[in-house]
Amino acid sequence: MRWLALFLCLLPAAPVVAQSSSLDLLKVGINAEAGAMGDAHVATADDAFASFWNPAGLAANRQNSLVAAHHIWVGNTRTYGAAGKMAVGERAAVSAFLLAQDTGAGNVPGSNIQSVSTGAAIGVSAGVVRFGLAAKFLSERVITTPSTGFGLDLGIQSTFPNSSVSIGAALLNIGRMSKVAGIVTELPTMARIGVAVYPFRIVSFDDAGDLLNAHLVLEYSRILPEDRGRFHAGAAVQLFEILTVRAGYISNEDLRGPSGGLGLDASSFRFDYALVPFTQGFGGPGHEMSLIYYW
């Protein structure tokens, strides 16, 4: 745990600028599993979606995966994501990812905000501790004015030997954008730390398969440029290794609070759905859908 303590000591060293940040697609989680659980995923991400949450999770297992996701969000905003993860040797995995968002301002021609984040990530395991790094190219167009930049994500993750507790931390969106009309857009640099607990499971005597498996997650995140902290909490119960029921909550968020969703496993595929009610209406609720293929 010395590595995690060292990582957390470095988090406050990130620059804090007291102004709003842009690139909203970097503030909202992409996959429906996390969305249903209050966007608490830094300790549990272990497939290609770890590229967006915590690159250290790429090394959590040697299972390859392809993922895709789609959000229908406030104001007809649409977000699309895709990523692929490939194991490299016994202790590492790499990924490539793409995230795109369009505000879809509809009846106001030329007023859309279009944002893109694309890049690659690597996760490496060193015993019970995993480390990750992601590098990404960023682009945002507001009306007709473009801005580009680069960002880095750092992550650490660990699972206790009995596999009943996982912890993780990440520092995301370290970088900057190009100037537009002499103004530099601040990236939403974000620090996240979380823990996941697997309190109990019921196993079949016939084939040792899970009849029921539950886990709880708790996370704290802070958007540094906005000096705003949030608590995230979630719970999930999987039945017969097929159906997963999820619920979650996120605090200090004007748009949303509670959330819920379902997951369905079928052979090498998993489909997840999240329903996110908007606290002030905003034409909601929001819908998040994601598909994962494992091999």
Could you tell me which of 134, 198, 195 has the C-alpha nearest to residue 169?
195
What is the spatial distance between Cα 124 and Cα 102, in angstroms, rounded to a whole number?
33
What is the predicted pLDDT for the residue at 236?
98
Secondary structure of residue 116 in the 3-state scheme: strand
Per CATH, the homologous superfamily of domain 2-277+286-294 is: Outer membrane protein transport protein (OMPP1/FadL/TodX) (2.40.160.60)
Task: Provide the CA 256 distance to its chain's centre, in angstroms.
Answer: 16
Three-state SS string over 174-241 comes to EEEECEECCEECCCCCEEEEEEEEEEEEEECCCCCCEEEEEEEEEEEEEEHHHCEEEEEEEEEEEECC
DSSP designation for 284: -
Q: Is the peptide bond before 285 cis (omega within 30 degrees of 0)?
A: yes
Residue 3: phi and psi, rounded to 5, are -65, -40
What is the predicted pLDDT for the residue at 146?
84
Written as six digits, the tokens of 260 are 């819920």
Secondary structure of residue 128 in the 3-state scheme: coil
Please list the pLDDT of the chain residue by residue as tens digits (295 residues): 554 444 445 444 433 333 344 688 898 889 999 999 999 999 999 999 999 999 999 999 999 999 999 999 887 789 999 999 999 999 999 999 999 999 865 444 555 788 999 999 999 999 899 999 999 999 988 767 788 999 999 999 999 877 789 999 999 999 988 877 667 778 999 999 999 999 988 888 777 778 899 999 999 999 999 999 999 999 999 999 999 999 999 999 988 999 999 999 998 999 999 999 988 766 679 999 999 999 9
Angle CA(110)–CA(112)–CA(117) in degrees, nearest 5?
130
Secondary structure of residue 257 in the 3-state scheme: coil
What is the predicted pLDDT for the residue at 13?
42
CB 67 within 8 A of CB 47: yes
- Please name every residue paired with 203 in a beta bridge, in sequence order, or none if there are none: 210
What is the predicted pLDDT for the residue at 238?
96
